[in-house]
Amino acid sequence: MLWVRDLNTYYGRAHILADLALEVRKGEVAVLLGRNGAGKSTTLKSIMGWARPRSGEIVFDGRRIDRLPTWRIARAGLGYVPEDRRIFTDLSVMENLDVGRQRGGWSADRVFALFPNLAEARDRPAARISGGEQQMLAIARCLMGNPSCILMDEPSEGLAPLIVDQMAAAVRALKLSGAAVLLSEQNWRFAAAVADRAYVIEKGRIRFAGTMAELAADGTLRARYLAV
């Protein structure tokens, strides 16, 4: 569903992503693992058109998107949940969902079934819900746009273990619904609980590409690049 080939992205003169390649298939969860500054967020921003690649190809659902504006990439069916969430804190939970609403299979009732915590807080201002619930809301608002592929930047960062488990259950449910999911993560436990495919990135280059089971079995590689 999503293919990235030979991607090179720069910030000024700084070469951030070097010949990066990855893919995510329908009904699959792929994870991009690496330390801070490895290039994970830049990879997702490059796919969404927030950081414009200098060369390479990004193909989504059979169509090149690497020269499209971000709004057209989103319209094509790519959803993005940024690391800083970017929810509207002065709006209620329900109003945040309404902002993201598009015609399609996702409704407020469906996202409330996925995230019951939000159903209980539907009329509460987003500023008055917990950090974990704000992360759920960022994902729920993205889903209201009915994406077929969802990019999530560090979805488990700073969350309590119980909320991380709930987030993992939600990601697995998205996979079962047929969506493709690409996560950037540092949390090994979370990644191992949800991902089928794994990529390890270091200094903007992919150092490992394979199944999550293969990465879990390679302790030397994990110790070298992930310190786990």
Residue 181 lies in a domain: yes
Q: Does 14 map to a domain?
A: no
Range of the domain at 193: 27-52+75-225
Is 90 exceeded by the pLDDT of residue 86? no
Q: What is the mean pLDDT of residues 141-170?
A: 91
* 137: confidence class by pLDDT, cuts 50, 70, 90: very high
> Has residue 70 been placed in a domain?
no
Place 83 in a pLDDT band, splitting at 50, 70 and 90.
confident
Confirm whether 201 is domain-assigned: yes
What is residue 85's predicted lDDT score, i.e. its pLDDT?
83
pLDDT the model gives residue 104: 76
Does 197 reside within a domain? yes
CATH code, domain with 47: 3.40.50.300
Q: How far is CA 151 from CA 80, 119, 125, 171, 203, in A?
A: 5, 23, 25, 11, 20
Q: Does 13 map to a domain?
A: no
Where does the pLDDT of residue 101 fall: very low under 50, low under 70, confident under 90, or very high at 90 and above?
confident
What pLDDT band is residue 31 in, cutting at 50, 70 and 90? very high
User: Nearest-5° angle of CA 71, CA 55, CA 36?
Assistant: 75
Mean pLDDT (the chain, rounded): 92
User: What's the whole-number mean pLDDT along residues 103-114?
Assistant: 88
227 pLDDT band, cuts 50/70/90, is confident
Confidence (pLDDT) at 99 = 87
DSSP states along 93-139: HHHHHHHH--SSS--HHHHHHH-HHHHHTTTSBGGGS-HHHHHHHHH
Q: How many domains does the chain have?
A: 1
* 152 pLDDT tier (thresholds 50, 70, 90): very high
Kindly state the average pLDDT of the residues 20-35. 95
Looking at residue 228, its pLDDT comes to 72
Whether 79 maps to a domain, the answer reads yes
